[in-house]
Structure 1
Amino acid sequence: MKYSTITIFGLGIILCISSCKNKNPNPILASIDLKRGELLLCSTEQFGDVNFSLSCNYETRETFDLALSLLHSFEYAEAEKAFVKVLDADPECAMAYWGVAMSIYNSLWMQSDLSYLKKGEQLLEIAKTLPATKLEKEYINAISVFYKDWDTKDKKTRKLLYENKMKELYNNNKTDVEVAVFYALAIRAAADPSDKTYTRQKKSGKILEELFIDKPNHPGIAHYIIHNYDYPELAQLGLSTARKYAEIAPASAHAQHMPSHIFTRLGLWQESINTNINSASSAVCYAESVNPGANWAQEIHAVDYLVYAYLQMGNNQKAQEYLNEMQNVKSVFPKQHFATTYALSAMPVRMILENKQWEEATKLDLPSINFTWETLHWEKAMHHFGKALGFAHTGEIELAENELTTLKTLHQKLLDEEELYKAGQVNIQVHAAQAWIELAKSNDEKALKLMKKAALLESQTSKHAVTPGELLPADELLGDMLLELNDPMEALKAYEINLLSHPNRFNGIYGAALAAKKSKDLDKAISYFKQLIELAKYSNSNREELIEAKTFIKNQNI
C-alpha cells in the first residue's frame, strides 16, 4: 500500500539556541534517559498556535511553544525532544522539566512500560529546586501528585489527584488559556469509562468550546473537544471541530487521525478514510526518519480505522489490502504500545467476523509479531472470541467450549490485575460466545438470555478511545440470533437499536433490511436495502448482501 508522499522536514533541523547562558545542569540529569536529537517533523506545515508565558530564557520560548504544540497533538516523542532542547539550553528552566514530565504522561493512553513514572518523579524533584514564578510552581506541583507514590497509589487515584490540583489552578487563573486547556484535559483523563452520563466529558467540552471561540487555531482545544465527544451520544457535538482539527495541525499524524473518531461514531466512512490515509502517510514519513525498519504505532492505529471504515462500505478488497500490509509488520515502535497491540490483534478477527467467514474464524492465529502475549489478555481474548464464534457456527461445540474456557480465564486475569474496563469488555465476549454455543446445542432459551445479557452489558459501558468499535456489536449479534430463531420482528428492533449507536454499519443495515423483509414490513425493507446500496456505491463491492439488496429493489420495480 503506497501512501502519498509528504516532504520530510526536520532531518536537517537543529534548533540551536546559541545565546543562552552557560549554566551547569543538575548532575542527576545524567542518570535520566532523556530523548535528544533533531526534531523529525514530516511537513513544512504547522502544529497550531500556542503562546505560553514563560520565565525562562527568552531565546528558548519559540522552542518551548513548539514543544507545547507537539504535546497538545500527542506527538509525545518529538515534544519531549523539544522540551529537552529547552532544558539543555537553560538548565534552570523549571518548566522544561515539567514539559518532559507532561510528554511522558500520555494522559489518555494506556502504557504497559511503567519506567516513565520514576523518570517523571525524578524530573519534577529537580524542577522544584529551581527558580520559577508562582504559576509555574503550581503547574509543577499539580503534575507532581500524579507521579508521587506511583508505586503505592493506583493510576485512577493519581489522575483524580492531578485533576483536583488543576481545578485549584484553574479557579485561580480563569483567564489563562493554557491552564484552562490542561484542566479540561485532566477532567477528561479522569473520566470513568463506565459512566454513560458523560458528566466529565460534557464539563470538559464546555470549557474547551468557550475557549475555541477566541482560539480557533489552538491544537489542544480542538483535539480535546474531539476526545470528549468520542461517543455515539455526543459525536454530533464534535463534528464541526473534527472537520477543522486536521487543518490546525496538518503536520501531526495524530491530528490527521483524530477527526476519524467523530466520523466513525457518525458513520461518515469516506471522511474517516480520507483523514486516516493522510495520517498513515504522515506516520510512515516519520517512521522512515526515526526507525526505518519499523512501523510507528500511529500508522497502525490509523490503518485499524481504515480497515473498519472500508468494511462498513462493503469494500473488502481495500480492507484486505491494508490488513495484508499490517500482517507483514515485523517491528513496531514504541514497543508494545496499546494502540498497536489492539489494532494488530483486532484487524484480522474483525475482517473475518464482519464477513461471517465462520470456517476461517476457526483457523485464526495470533499475529506473528514478537509481543509478550502472556500479558496481553484483552488482545488475546479477541482472538479466542473469534474462534469461539467460528466453532459455534460450524457446530464444533467441544472446540468452541475450549475457547470459551480460555476467554473466562483471560477475564479472571484482568480482574486479578484490576483492569476492570478490559475485564468488562471480555465479559461481554464471554456472554456472547456462550450464547452462540448454547444456540448450537439447541438450548434456544438459554442462548437468547445470554445474548440479551451481553447486549445489556455492552449498553452500560463506553467504547474505549483507542478502538474504532467492537469486533461485532452485541445488539447486532442479538439481531442475528433472533433471525436464527425465526423472530424477525424482534430482530428488527435489535438491529435498529444497534444502528442508533453504530450508524451506517454495513451488517447492521443489512440485518435490519433482512429482518424487515421477513417481517413483511416492505417499506422498511426497501428503505434499508436502499441504504445498503447507497453505502457501498463507490466500493465496487461483490458482497452477497449487496447482490441481494439490488435484486430485491429491482423486483419491487422501483
Structure 2
Amino acid sequence: MRRSSIVALALALLPALAAAQHDHGAPRLGTVSFPNSGVRAAQTPFLRGVALLHSFEYEDAAAAFREAERADPGLAIAYWLESLTYSPILWREDDPDAGRRAVARLAPTPAARLAKAGTARERAYGAAVEAFLADTTPAARVVAFADSMRAVAERYPDDLEASAFASIGAMMAQQAGGLPPARRREETERATRFAERVFAASPNHPGAAHYLIHVADMDQSYAPRALPAARAYDKIAPDATHALHMPSHVYLSLGMWDDLVASNERAWASSRAWVRARGRTGADLSFHALTWLQYGYLEQGRWRAARALLDTTRAVLAGADLAGAAHVDARYAPGALAFLYAAETGRWDDVAIDGPTTAPTGPSTAAGREAGFLAASRYAHAVAGAMRGDTTAVIAVARTLGGVPDSATWTTRSPLAMLNALTLDALAARGRGDSALALARLRAAAAFEDRVPVIGPPSYVSAHELLGGALLASNDPRGAAVEYERSLAHQPNRSLALLGLARARAASGDRAGAADAYRKLLANWVRADADLPALAEVRAGARD
C-alpha cells in the first residue's frame, strides 16, 4: 500500500490543481475530487481523465489516464478507469478486450491487480471494474458493475465519485442489463438518487449534471426537474464537446428549440475545432450533434439552414475513411439527415436518401449502435419510396424488418419496431388504395408511438401526425385534432403537430383553439425563412 503521506499530499493538492488548471488555460471540465494514492506528478492528468470520462470524452480521457500511468506506473486506479473508456455502453458500443489490455499493463490477473491497489477504497473501485471486464455476457458485466459500484457508494457515502460512478453504472444496467421492467425502474431510481446526491453537494461536478440529463432520457417526466442541470452543464465543462451538446436532450423533451439549436451550434463548432487540432478527418466529427442541430433548425422553420447541413455533411466526408467503430455515425449521417429533412418538410423529391445498407459494415465493438442505424436506414428508404409513390420498396423493407406479426405477439417486439412495422404496412395499404386498412394500421402504430422514448430527433414519421392528416383529409377534423394533440403530448411543441392542430381546429370551427396553436407555432418560427410555405397562414391565424 502507498504511504499515507502520499495520500495526504494528493488531498492537499486538489484545490491547487484546480486553480492551476484554470490559471494556465487548461481545459475547463468541471470540478472533480478523487483522493488517491498516486504521486504528485500523476494528479493533474488523473483528475483530468476523471472529468473527461464523466463527460464521455472517451479518447481524451484514455490519453489522460495513460499520462497518469506514465507518471506513476503503479497507480492501479488509473488503469481501471482507463479501461472504462473503451466501452461506452450508453452509446451501444463495447470493447472489453481493449479494456482488458489496458489493465493487463498493470498486472496479468485480477488478483494481482487488486493487490496493487493503493487503498481499500481504490481496491473497491478496482473490484467493480474487474467485474465489468469479466469474461461473460455484456448484460452480466454491466449488472455486476452497477451492483458493485452501488456497494462502493454505500460504503463510502461521502465519496462523490463513488456516487457518480454508481449513477452511470445504474444507467448501464437499466439500458443493457436485460432486466425485467420492475428492476429497470429500480435502476432508474438509483441513477437519479446518486446523481442528485452529487449535484447537491458539488454543483460544478460534470458527471452529476450529465447523468441527471440522462435520467430525463430514461424517464421523460423527469425533464423539468433536469432543466437546472441542463442549464448548468455546458457552463461546467465548456471545453468538452459532449457537454455542450447534452443539455439539448432536456431541451428537446421540453420543446425548447432555440436552446436546442444554440447548444448544438456550440457543440458542432467545438467538434470541428477538436478535429482540426488533432489533424483528423471529417469522419471524426460529431454527427450526433449535427443531427440534433438540423432538427432544431427544422423546428424553427429554418429549412434552408437545415438543407445546407446536408451539403456540409457530404463536403466534410468527401474522401474520408469511414471504416471502424468510431465512424458508425459518419457512415449513416448523409442518409439520416436527408430523411429527417424530408420527413419534417414533406419535400421528399428534394433530397437523395441513401439506399439501405444490406449488412452492418462496422466491427463488433459497435455492432449494437450500427444495428440501430441499419434498421433506421432501411425504414427511411422504404418511407421515402412510399412518399414518392413506390410501394415496392415498402413491402420489401417491411419484410426485412419482420413485417407486422400476429397481434397476439405484438408485445414481444419493441414499441419502435412495432411503430415502424405498422406504419410501413399503413403506407403500403394507402398505396393500394385501401384507406380503411391504412387508418387501422396508423391507429395501432400511434398507440406504440406513445411508448417510444423521446431521446433524440425522430428516426420515424409520426403515426399520430400521419393519422391526423388522413382524418383531416377525410373530413374528420375533430378526430384529427385529437391525434395532433396526442403527438404534442408525446413530443412537446413540435412544429408539424402544431400546424396540423391549428388546421384541424380551424376546420372544426374552433377559431380560438386554432389561434392558440398558430401563436405557439409562430413562437417557434420567429427566425423562420421568409418564404416558408405556411408562414403567411400562421401569421394570419395567430391574429384571429
**Short-chain TM bin:** 0.7 to 0.9
Query: Where in structure 2 are the equivalents of 1:218-297 lying within 5 Å?
Result: 218-230=205-217, 231-297=219-285
Is residue 2:391 matched to residue 1:397? yes
Query: 1:422-452 deviations in whole A, cap 9, x for unaligned?
Result: x653442121011122123232232222112
**Structure 2 length-normalised TM:** 0.84
Counterpart selection for 2:479 from 484, 490, 499: 490
Letter in 1 for 2:373: E
Give the conservation status (yes or no) of the 8 Å contact 1:121–1:144: no
Residue equivalent to 1:350: 340
Residue equivalent to 1:96: 78
Counterpart selection for 2:452 from 461, 477, 483: 461
Residue equivalent to 2:54: 72
- C-alpha distance in 1 between matches for 2:331 and 2:475: 39
Residue equivalent to 1:472: 461
% identical aligned pairs: 25
Residue equivalent to 1:168: 151
- C-alpha distance in 2 between matches for 1:509 and 1:212: 36
Query: Where in structure 2 are the equivalents of 1:128-167 lying within 5 Å?
Result: 128-150=114-136, 153=137, 155-167=138-150
Residue equivalent to 1:213: 200
Give the conservation status (yes or no) of the 8 Å contact 1:296–1:334: no
Residue equivalent to 2:470: 481
Residue equivalent to 1:325: 312
Residue equivalent to 2:426: 435
- 541 and 202 in structure 1: CA distance in 2 versus 1, 3 angstrom threshold: farther
Q: Give the 3-state SS of the residue equivalent to 1:190 in structure 2.
A: helix
Query: 1:448-484 deviations in whole A, cap 9, x for unaligned?
Result: 2211222222322324x5x333332332233223223
Letter in 2 for 1:272: L
- 276 and 393 in structure 1: CA distance in 2 versus 1, 3 angstrom threshold: closer
Letter in 2 for 1:434: D
- 405 and 358 in structure 1: CA distance in 2 versus 1, 3 angstrom threshold: farther
Give the conservation status (yes or no) of the 8 Å contact 1:110–1:338: no
Give the conservation status (yes or no) of the 8 Å contact 1:112–1:337: no
Counterpart selection for 1:87 from 46, 53, 69: 69
1:396 Cα deviation after fit: 3.3
1:87 Cα deviation after fit: 1.1
- 208 and 373 in structure 1: CA distance in 2 versus 1, 3 angstrom threshold: closer
- C-alpha distance in 2 between matches for 1:358 and 1:250: 37
- C-alpha distance in 2 between matches for 1:333 and 1:132: 40
- C-alpha distance in 2 between matches for 1:273 and 1:333: 29
- C-alpha distance in 1 between matches for 2:306 and 2:349: 20
- C-alpha distance in 2 between matches for 1:70 and 1:354: 35
Q: Give the number of the structure with larger relative contact order, counting CA–CA contacts within 8 Å between residues 6 or more apart.
A: 1
Counterpart selection for 1:502 from 484, 487, 491: 491
- 214 and 460 in structure 1: CA distance in 2 versus 1, 3 angstrom threshold: same
Give the conservation status (yes or no) of the 8 Å contact 1:166–1:182: yes
Letter in 2 for 1:382: A
Counterpart selection for 1:383 from 352, 377, 384: 377
- 227 and 337 in structure 1: CA distance in 2 versus 1, 3 angstrom threshold: farther
Is residue 2:31 matched to residue 1:49? yes
Query: 1:506-547 deviations in whole A, cap 9, x for unaligned?
Result: 101111111111222111111112222221122234222223
1:358 Cα deviation after fit: 3.8
Letter in 1 for 2:150: K
Counterpart selection for 2:512 from 523, 529, 532: 523
Q: Give the 3-state SS of the residue equivalent to 1:544 in structure 2.
A: coil
Letter in 2 for 1:435: A
- 163 and 114 in structure 1: CA distance in 2 versus 1, 3 angstrom threshold: closer
- C-alpha distance in 1 between matches for 2:147 and 2:223: 27
- C-alpha distance in 1 between matches for 2:290 and 2:402: 30
- C-alpha distance in 2 between matches for 1:394 and 1:236: 40
Cα-Cα RMSD: 3.1
Letter in 2 for 1:383: S
- 334 and 60 in structure 1: CA distance in 2 versus 1, 3 angstrom threshold: farther
- 403 and 359 in structure 1: CA distance in 2 versus 1, 3 angstrom threshold: farther
Name structure 1 gaps, 5 residues minimum. Answer: 1-19, 21-38, 413-419
- C-alpha distance in 1 between matches for 2:385 and 2:89: 39
- C-alpha distance in 2 between matches for 1:256 and 1:550: 33
Letter in 1 for 2:120: K
Q: Give the 3-state SS of the residue equivalent to 1:234 in structure 2.
A: helix
- C-alpha distance in 2 between matches for 1:139 and 1:113: 20
Name structure 2 gaps, 5 residues minimum. Answer: 1-5, 7-20, 406-411
Residue equivalent to 1:313: 300
- C-alpha distance in 2 between matches for 1:252 and 1:356: 35
Residue equivalent to 2:436: 445
Larger displacement relative to structure 2 (496-505 or 371-380): 371-380
Query: 1:185-231 deviations in whole A, cap 9, x for unaligned?
Result: 11122114895995533432232223222201111111111111135
Relative to total residues, which structure has the larger helix share, 1 or 2? 2
Query: 1:311-355 deviations in whole A, cap 9, x for unaligned?
Result: 011110111112211123143597444544554442111101111
- C-alpha distance in 1 between matches for 2:32 and 2:265: 27
Letter in 2 for 1:176: D
- C-alpha distance in 1 between matches for 2:262 and 2:350: 30
Is residue 2:531 matched to residue 1:542? yes
- 53 and 360 in structure 1: CA distance in 2 versus 1, 3 angstrom threshold: same
- 336 and 104 in structure 1: CA distance in 2 versus 1, 3 angstrom threshold: closer
- 388 and 127 in structure 1: CA distance in 2 versus 1, 3 angstrom threshold: same
Give the conservation status (yes or no) of the 8 Å contact 1:142–1:162: yes
Residue equivalent to 1:106: 88
